[in-house]
Structure 1
């Protein structure tokens, strides 16, 4: 097999994994190998943890490595995992995007030296209806509807994340919800879009969640049932689709973002979150670069 054929073969295997039904157990290999390399990060007790930095074909990563991470809930983090977050990732701040009842069931862990920030939603979102994900489009319209709702109700939390990026470029951050899939997927897409990622790159990062959640896959159904607001049978139409990831869902959300706000994500930051054009440029710069001068001579 030639190098080109081998690359094509590996790409095909990866594509198969990314589109595998959530009910299907992924094979230990190559799943394990993928989880052991960038952008995934292995920390004891965490799942779906990865660095948002992605190498670009024509230059350095649009988001600097080791600055912004995304993951699922930290509920089962071990003492060794807490140490690794501080000593290995040099984490400064964790943003918890979960609802109050989720945090009550599984409180955020206390990690010495790391600040955990939780910001109440702007309003209480309507419970997710699994039947929204059972339509002929495979649930795409349901995901877009849900992601637009997240964009609105999580405005205070998203503003806090972007303020942190603006004001503290020296402090690596981690953003998470329960599965690290939907709410985390929305804020990750906003950050990546602002950094200049192509829609293809954003969709790819979103799809990697299918592999990232595999270690916690049996519990994922329970995580997402919490969004429904009432006990539902596993065979309920749309529930399987709700637990999965689809490229068309993220593409649909990005399309709505661009159609709703002039300049897309920039419009969202300035119109909805209240940032100035100068703020947006500082955030962009901090995503890509950091120097000691930014701390010793802050812009604000």
Structure 2
């Protein structure tokens, strides 16, 4: 059964629960990840209601939220950060003036994953999202997203699954699922045209696909930077041992 859920205006929406965890346990259901909600339709919003989504962790920066305001509907608890204010997000600056060759994109993406765990805004929402997971059960759906639902979101989900005791191979499988969940044959030319019209940049298709997708070595860089998930969540995000124990307990299906 596919983990990918179809929406009219939301890309890369999928379930990241129900993986095998340590000691024969299983991660609970009700855990979702996606791209932004700016283009969510009325049907999409009703689907979120039907799925009992109650908490949304939005990892985007304020300027991204201003450029593409979310279409969530009502009744949701929203987790966001205003750290970094209205500065231009790094990925937009890179698109505008960076080396968008195939090798240039790969190098920038690896550097990005070394940066993501250390950004204060990400840390703030990571911590808030994990604390929500310590108290909310499967009957209250949780969704985490950024712009594309692959980098910041991918790191949050990898941390969460690692805390739950999911095997590393399964964590990487979940992360890499973006490459199958998104229709890049349609998305790449659309983004190429937008960048040509907006910035006058004619980006090669292979470089554009690499920028919009994910690779195992990207996540490798983040884990090399972080060390163990528990050490990062405790030492950097500031969660207590009791909070980490509560997260682990609540992530397991009962």
The residue correspondences of 1:157-196 to structure 2 (distance < 5 A) are 157-169=125-137, 171-196=140-165
**Kept after mapping to 2: 8 A contact 1:95/1:174:** yes
Matched residue, 2:187? 217
Q: 1:146 aligns with which of 93, 96, 112?
A: 112
**Kept after mapping to 1: 8 A contact 2:61/2:89:** no
Can you give the 5+ residue segments of structure 2 that lack an aligned partner in the other structure? none
The yes-or-no answer on 1:73 pairing with 2:42 is no
**Kept after mapping to 2: 8 A contact 1:43/1:85:** no
Instruction: Write the distance in 2 (CA, Å) between the matches of 1:82 and 1:117.
Output: 18
The residue correspondences of 1:13-28 to structure 2 (distance < 5 A) are none
Can you give the 5+ residue segments of structure 1 that lack an aligned partner in the other structure? 1-36, 259-263, 291-300
Cα 1:115–1:280 shift into 2, 3 Å: same
Instruction: Write the distance in 2 (CA, Å) between the matches of 1:144 and 1:198.
Output: 23
SS in 2 for 1:47: coil
Instruction: Write the distance in 2 (CA, Å) between the matches of 1:126 and 1:74.
Output: 18
Which structure has the larger Rg over C-alpha atoms? Answer: 1
SS in 1 for 2:180: helix
RMSD: 3.1
The residue correspondences of 1:249-268 to structure 2 (distance < 5 A) are 249-258=218-227, 264-268=228-232
Deviations 1:57-94 (A, max 9, x none): 98442x2012x10001112211121111112x110011
Instruction: Write the distance in 2 (CA, Å) between the matches of 1:42 and 1:281.
Output: 34
Cα 1:45–1:239 shift into 2, 3 Å: closer
SS in 2 for 1:196: coil
Relative contact order, higher structure (CA 8 A, sep 6+): 2
TM-score, structure 2 length as denominator? 0.81
Deviations 1:115-143 (A, max 9, x none): 2222123686872445387449x82x533
Matched residue, 1:98? 60
TM-score, structure 1 length as denominator? 0.70
Deviations 1:250-280 (A, max 9, x none): 233323322xxxxx11111111111111111
The yes-or-no answer on 1:285 pairing with 2:253 is no
SS in 2 for 1:167: coil
